């Protein structure tokens, strides 16, 4: 299964708030969710206005003034949309 990509802005407008959000998410995500998510920093300027920091992209969806709850909700949305493997009964070809 492909992992969900969470990119947190680390550019000058988001640096401090983005670092704090990264730390909070690392603590709040459960083991099951951590195994399905990759959290990265990005130097892409996601917030042209410092008032919108921190900015996060979850699978390309931009979230401004992101809170841990916003990001976790977006991850849950992505997990629900991801196709799941359908088990094939033994003795039957896929």
- Residue 20's domain comprises 4-81
Considering only residues 4 and 45, tell me which one the structure prediction assigns the higher pLDDT: 4
Residue 89 in any domain: the answer is: no
Determine the Cα–Cα distance for residues 61 and 76; give it in Å rounded to an integer.
13
Task: Read off the pLDDT band of 91 (50, 70, 90).
Answer: low
Question: What CATH number should be reported for the domain holding residue 39?
Answer: 3.40.30.10
Residue 16 in any domain: the answer is: yes
Determine the Cα–Cα distance for residues 74 and 43; give it in Å rounded to an integer.
21
Residue 88 in any domain: the answer is: no
pLDDT, averaged across the chain: 85
Cross-strand bridge partners of residue 58: 6, 61
pTM, rounded to two decimals:
0.79
Residue 87 in any domain: the answer is: no
Determine the Cα–Cα distance for residues 94 and 87; give it in Å rounded to an integer.
9
Is 45 a residue whose pLDDT tops 80? no
Residue 25 in any domain: the answer is: yes
Domain count, the chain: 1
């Amino acid at each position: 299964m492909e992992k969900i990509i969470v990119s947190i802005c680390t550019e000058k407008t988001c640096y401090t708030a983005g670092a704090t959000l990264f730390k909070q998410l690392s603590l709040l995500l459960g083991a099951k969710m951590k195994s399905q998510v990759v959290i990265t920093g990005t130097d892409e300027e996601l917030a042209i206005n410092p008032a919108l920091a921190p900015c996060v992209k979850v699978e390309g969806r931009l979230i401004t003034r992101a809170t841990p709850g916003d990001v976790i909700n977006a991850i849950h949305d992505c997990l629900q949309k991801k196709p799941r493997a359908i088990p094939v009964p033994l003795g039957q070809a896929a």
